[in-house]
Chains A and B, each alone.
Chain A
């Protein structure tokens, strides 16, 4: 039984008392909830959660421990982890430790024993908020502290999570050469590309278009990543040039950057889409696919340039979930076709991308 009391204090003043686990430090960030029932390790290590305190809605976390293959980036990315119940005795053949030790090893704090459903309801009603996770401060102290910190929306997290240097992924040496512009990619995108016969080269987010094209890729993948795409003006022009030159797939932040690059806009969703159960309709096939999602911003359908068409929509709120370029071999999706965590219904996106790479033609 954990001993030290800790609390999550939201910027609206509400406070949720529980126990500290993981590292016992104070942290702050944007507080978001995720409705996936499995995949906490993938969630913790997803760079798109950079700057955020994540609250899984599923109450029992850590059941199968931490394993060698559930990691989606080089480290834990969340700023804090808030759960109802931490499993101190995981059970799985592949388990190498608990969530608690995992968080401790990377000095990330956690809070357990709190009413995560109450937090979720509050975020649903009021929208995502900044919050402080602390075992040291009282609620008023935490609020005061929070006011002195920068807001999530103002921070460029991409530069914190992108790779320092270009690298080749895991001995991938297939025939199709794909360059992944790393805005905070998940490893599973790289694993999938490799399994589908690609040679995968990952380059830093700020790599110039000339440097990307100099690698002579057959296709380019614009990766997911954290934060507000409106802050990434420095990257837009590169993205535009690359997308005009090479068959391109944009995922999540990559999708939003394409919108910006071609003259569209994004806006912030009230409480985002984070989970593994969102229904997305593919406007071409008419089929509904269940998707993994993790985004706080969405492409504004109204402001789309005429060169881009909406290819996918979210059935819950009709937001844009994918686009195609009317002439270029360019397609984008807002959700995470790479799964991990989440459903694998959307592997066809990668197949479509690779077909596009092969033919050099746009999406019909």
Chain B
């Protein structure tokens, strides 16, 4: 024990390298921006200089205001070694950048790079990380110290796996070593699944190793967040119980904090085990321990009971996993309790003891204590299946959600219902049922989707509604009866609201169960507004209670609140000038971390202008919901009811609510969608008016507006029926681009080529309940341009122009984007700037706007610029352009919104001078985790995150963007090519270049013929999966090819072609280029040489010139 206790006598480091987690992918989201940003701030407080490296520009941590020195570079060993060589840090903090950061730190240590440069690994020692991460070592340690582990064996081959299956019996769990979010994991329930599951698992593991383990499906899944300092002091931050029992990845589970169904004996048993484990491991900082605890015997019988330390019966448990770093769970625990885990972990890493660190929340006590919660927290994951209708919605050990929401209340029912509201998935309150469930009357449990899937909570509600007993649902789902009974309480209240007259008492009880005005309106047959009016008449309004880490035992200074229906309000209106920033809710495809970046900057900018910022958000992963980001934080759903309640609460004069303005520009579509309801209620919107927002969003109005300005847009129209659509298409000619008006991340946008496809699209949209118009536009082939601008209504500042590498048709969020528009002529730039300035002025934009345009070049004529859309809000590219041009767009916009003109801020109208650098944004996908989803890039956005390559040269920036995005071709190997007829001619030069590099070419039938005609010698592989081997999928799975180029000719039906190729590539994690443009630049980059790039501070690129 003695040697594990490293007293705080090691010298405090002077300069510390912090590694970020890179792009947002499933399993690694905004929580690491939150953790990293908090760690950097915490180290700065200790007088330590921080050097931060991350490839993701849409993060707060990559701001120089957070870290002292920022590198936006690919996260590779080579790059980080170059950073270490030039910055000479004396410490490395490995535990803030998720699995990515941890793996890199381990590699740096193992390659001797840390020793070479004298860099000390801070916090948890390397040996501990290795022990916790290596399944075998970990298991051995647990057995040694007497902690129970599920029987398991580690295997590296299929043969060994078969032996283990015989020994342990089925079902088994497959867990690959060293992976993110359980990638490559799964269950083997039947013998015939073994080979597929094991080989997938092995291929997902960087060390080609998987664990086969006795399945504990149906057991309770419990997590503990633990903290230990170098002096061996240990505390628990909080425990959490998964509503979904073992078998569903904890990232995909609904989670409550604290645990609800554990006795004190069970709670303390696992708490004691957690401390035992981190002491033995020697963790220094935050750590997450996961357990399986025997379920209620009424749900699964036959599990033996143990005897505890004083001879009482107690449930069995197994230790499942330890993460010796901050994690998604630690972010959730921090937000659930108010205890800043990353902040304290960083201080421990530089030698502080828990009893030396002040509690930043109470400011009166120290960090050595355990938070006491006096509320219930519910987290619900946000899955991408609203965008990926074809995806496999079943949940298992492979995480599939992109983000999550959290809600806090004094009852489980209310916290749960608020969390559902926070998901921001249209009409899906707990009253929602899928249309096809309506007719299910028999075998209810069997016929409803009650297995683990994203719709399960609604299916449970439907089952209860159809008369299934809570216990029968528990038996079927293994969800503890406590939770089902609580959902049944919600259902009973629904029934009362349907049947009884709406009285004061009934309304009060319904609000205490988390029913929204809208739900009550639906059930009691009134308009939501009437419900609101009535309840205010009755004096029923929410109060706000503080998250204070101590259940009110001590006075706390944290300005962190949640709503509830109780007696006492703890949040009197903030005195003085103030403004609300509406956040963006859960991370989802199309609405990512970039909007959190914007919200945070807005909150800061308001404070700079002596205006107190009030942040509203529901996402526990983010920097925006850190308690010290804004003047006051409301952790609430982002809907009309909660925003209006907050405005009511903040108002010192109920008769005039207009004094409190709301910023709706920064929280993505979620926030901007609230503009119309705010305006309708005469509430103040800061910046661009609701009218301007409506003009930009409403097709008819926007068309009229542009026509008046003489600015062209692609011909097209808004329609509501299929025949109308066909008429429009006939007038403008195919192909046409179709999409609903009021879009988010290009949802349900498609390019269609004929009448049949068009009417199919329109009819599908109408039957899906889209009550807004559908837009049918001419699909123009040209360069797609993205422009972000900030306007005060008079001047319009354009920091830069961005150009897509892929031709129009690929969603802007999925396109590789270059700053500055190096492929544009001066004339084209001038037109774009002119249009942007005029649109900004004429729309009276106050704040941010994003313009998307297409430049069409016609031989012999001057280029034409068409405006596709204008978004009067922050766009996805705001962090990217801000970091490349050094124009703090959100800060400028926020100040404009408070009345400070651009001129007053020192900016002129027009395009900023070009920087002497190139920045390239590349998308990052999480396709290997989403079975059944097509990876083909089109008008519908599919990427979950992005990276930025920045350098003095195009080649340097490109190479780094490709490396960071995992799109770089290996130096040699095989490549599978399958090209649509339409693209064949264009592809020849690209493929020839590939061949020149010595790649072995594999091609499908038609493509192979074409290549042979052009003098190349590809190996032909068949697309027909059932007619002989090797077929296209075999060559991918057997690692014969290292990249795929696959284009299709558009339209839904043809997409089936090549689907298997693209899925196989996704699962094997090799680059799959579905646009020739992307393939072309990847080859260009290969020709230029992989290592020809700079590694410099962001500010050096800005200020310097090519060396």
Cβ-defined contact, A92 with B369, below 8 A: no
A residues in contact (CB < 8 Å) with B: 1, 16, 33, 35-39, 41-42, 57-60, 63-64, 67, 69-70, 84-85, 87, 89-94, 114-118, 120-121, 124, 188, 191-192, 194-195, 271, 275-279, 281, 286-288, 290, 315-316, 339-345, 347
Cβ-defined contact, A195 with B309, below 8 A: yes
Given A84-B410, A117-B552, A287-B232, check contact A59 B375 (CB 8 Å). Answer: yes
Taking CB atoms, residues of chain B closer than 8 Å to A92 are 261, 263, 296
Taking CB atoms, residues of chain B closer than 8 Å to A38 are 258-259, 262-264, 267-268
Given A70-B264, A277-B371, check contact A118 B567 (CB 8 Å). Answer: yes
Query: CA A192 – CA B272 in complex, angstroms?
Result: 16
Cβ-defined contact, A281 with B355, below 8 A: yes
| In the complex, residue of chain A having the shortest beta-carbon distance to the beta carbon of B376 | A60
Q: Does B442 contact A (CB under 8 A)?
A: no
Q: Does B639 contact A (CB under 8 A)?
A: no
Cβ-defined contact, A117 with B313, below 8 A: no
Cβ-defined contact, B369 with A315, below 8 A: yes
Cβ of A287 to closest chain B Cβ, rounded Å: 6
Taking CB atoms, residues of chain A closer than 8 Å to B272 are 343-345
Total number of residue pairs linking A and B with CB closer than 8 Å: 179
28 contacts between A and B (CB under 8 A): A35-B553, A37-B258, A37-B373, A39-B264, A57-B372, A57-B374, A58-B374, A64-B263, A67-B263, A85-B411, A89-B485, A93-B298, A115-B566, A116-B374, A117-B551, A121-B568, A121-B570, A194-B310, A194-B311, A195-B311, A277-B550, A279-B368, A286-B231, A290-B369, A316-B365, A339-B268, A342-B264, A345-B234
Q: Name B's interface SS.
A: loop
Cβ of A57 to closest chain B Cβ, rounded Å: 4
Cβ of B893 to closest chain A Cβ, rounded Å: 39
Among the listed A39, A59, A194, A277, which residue makes an inter-chain contact with B374, where contact means beta carbons less than 8 Å apart? A59
| In the complex, residue of chain A having the shortest beta-carbon distance to the beta carbon of B409 | A59
Query: CA A173 – CA B410 in complex, angstroms?
Result: 47
Taking CB atoms, residues of chain A closer than 8 Å to B235 are 279, 288, 290
Query: CA A271 – CA B555 in complex, angstroms?
Result: 13
**By the criterion of a CB under 8 Å from any partner CB, how many residues of chain B are at the interface?**
60
Taking CB atoms, residues of chain A closer than 8 Å to B369 are 277-279, 290, 315-316
Taking CB atoms, residues of chain A closer than 8 Å to B410 are 59, 84-85, 117
Query: CA A39 – CA B354 in complex, angstroms?
Result: 26
Among the listed B310, B354, B355, B370, which residue makes an inter-chain contact with A195, where contact means beta carbons less than 8 Å apart? B310
Cβ-defined contact, B310 with A1, below 8 A: no
Cβ-defined contact, B370 with A288, below 8 A: no
Q: Name A's interface SS.
A: loop
Given A286-B231, A315-B365, check contact A36 B372 (CB 8 Å). Answer: yes
Cβ of B20 to closest chain A Cβ, rounded Å: 32
Query: CA A276 – CA B369 in complex, angstroms?
Result: 10
Cβ-defined contact, A120 with B481, below 8 A: no
Taking CB atoms, residues of chain A closer than 8 Å to B551 are 35, 57-58, 117, 120, 275
Taking CB atoms, residues of chain B closer than 8 Å to A290 are 235-236, 369-370
Query: CA A121 – CA B290 in complex, angstroms?
Result: 34
Query: CA A89 – CA B474 in complex, angstroms?
Result: 14
Cβ of B964 to closest chain A Cβ, rounded Å: 43
Q: Does B335 contact A (CB under 8 A)?
A: no
Q: Does B260 contact A (CB under 8 A)?
A: yes
Q: Does B1009 contact A (CB under 8 A)?
A: no
Taking CB atoms, residues of chain A closer than 8 Å to B309 are 192, 195, 344, 347
Give me 15 other A-B pairs in contact (C-beta within 8 A), A37-B258, A89-B485, A279-B369 excluded: A59-B374, A64-B261, A69-B265, A69-B312, A93-B315, A117-B545, A124-B552, A124-B554, A276-B370, A279-B368, A288-B354, A315-B369, A339-B268, A342-B264, A344-B272
Flag B279-311 by CB within 8 Å of A: 1 or 0 each.
000000000000000001110000000000111
Top 3 nearest A-B pairs (CB, nearest first) are A39-B264, A118-B568, A91-B482
Q: Does B412 contact A (CB under 8 A)?
A: yes
| In the complex, residue of chain B having the shortest beta-carbon distance to the beta carbon of A69 | B312
Taking CB atoms, residues of chain B closer than 8 Å to A90 are 482
Cβ-defined contact, A57 with B552, below 8 A: yes
Among the listed B313, B366, B509, B570, which residue makes an inter-chain contact with A69, where contact means beta carbons less than 8 Å apart? B313
Taking CB atoms, residues of chain B closer than 8 Å to A124 are 552-555
Taking CB atoms, residues of chain A closer than 8 Å to B480 are 91
Cβ-defined contact, A344 with B233, below 8 A: no
Cβ-defined contact, B372 with A35, below 8 A: yes
| In the complex, residue of chain A having the shortest beta-carbon distance to the beta carbon of B413 | A85
Among the listed B311, B368, B374, which residue makes an inter-chain contact with A191, where contact means beta carbons less than 8 Å apart? B311
Q: Does B961 contact A (CB under 8 A)?
A: no
Cβ-defined contact, A64 with B262, below 8 A: yes
Taking CB atoms, residues of chain B closer than 8 Å to A91 are 261, 296, 480-482, 485
Cβ-defined contact, B566 with A63, below 8 A: no
Taking CB atoms, residues of chain A closer than 8 Å to B481 are 89, 91
Flag B479-496 by CB within 8 Å of A: 1 or 0 each.
011100100000000000
Cβ-defined contact, A120 with B552, below 8 A: yes
Q: Does B275 contact A (CB under 8 A)?
A: yes
Taking CB atoms, residues of chain A closer than 8 Å to B262 are 38, 64
Query: CA A279 – CA B365 in complex, angstroms?
Result: 10
Q: Does B271 contact A (CB under 8 A)?
A: yes
Cβ of B2 to closest chain A Cβ, rounded Å: 12
Flag B391-414 by CB within 8 Å of A: 1 or 0 each.
000000000000000000011100
Taking CB atoms, residues of chain B closer than 8 Å to A42 are 264
Taking CB atoms, residues of chain B closer than 8 Å to A188 are 310
| In the complex, residue of chain B having the shortest beta-carbon distance to the beta carbon of A195 | B310
Taking CB atoms, residues of chain B closer than 8 Å to A344 are 268, 271-272, 309
| In the complex, residue of chain A having the shortest beta-carbon distance to the beta carbon of B305 | A93
Taking CB atoms, residues of chain B closer than 8 Å to A191 are 310-312
Cβ of A126 to closest chain B Cβ, rounded Å: 13
Cβ-defined contact, B552 with A37, below 8 A: no
| In the complex, residue of chain A having the shortest beta-carbon distance to the beta carbon of B482 | A91
| In the complex, residue of chain B having the shortest beta-carbon distance to the beta carbon of A1 | B509
Cβ of B747 to closest chain A Cβ, rounded Å: 38
Cβ of A36 to closest chain B Cβ, rounded Å: 7
Query: CA A195 – CA B310 in complex, angstroms?
Result: 6
Query: CA A124 – CA B364 in complex, angstroms?
Result: 14
Query: CA A94 – CA B372 in complex, angstroms?
Result: 26
Given A1-B509, A121-B568, A277-B369, check contact A315 B355 (CB 8 Å). Answer: yes
Cβ of A239 to closest chain B Cβ, rounded Å: 26
Query: CA A59 – CA B297 in complex, angstroms?
Result: 26
Cβ of B378 to closest chain A Cβ, rounded Å: 12
Cβ of B546 to closest chain A Cβ, rounded Å: 9
Taking CB atoms, residues of chain B closer than 8 Å to A315 are 355, 365-366, 368-369
Taking CB atoms, residues of chain B closer than 8 Å to A342 are 264, 268
Taking CB atoms, residues of chain B closer than 8 Å to A70 are 263-265
**Most chain-A Cβ atoms within 10 A of its Cβ — which of B231, B369, B552?**
B552
Flag B243-272 by CB within 8 Å of A: 1 or 0 each.
000000000000000111111110110011
**Most chain-A Cβ atoms within 10 A of its Cβ — which of B232, B310, B411?**
B310
**Most chain-A Cβ atoms within 10 A of its Cβ — which of B234, B268, B411, B555?**
B268
Cβ-defined contact, A59 with B567, below 8 A: no
Query: CA A37 – CA B366 in complex, angstroms?
Result: 20
Cβ-defined contact, B411 with A60, below 8 A: yes
Query: CA A170 – CA B626 in complex, angstroms?
Result: 52
Cβ of B90 to closest chain A Cβ, rounded Å: 27
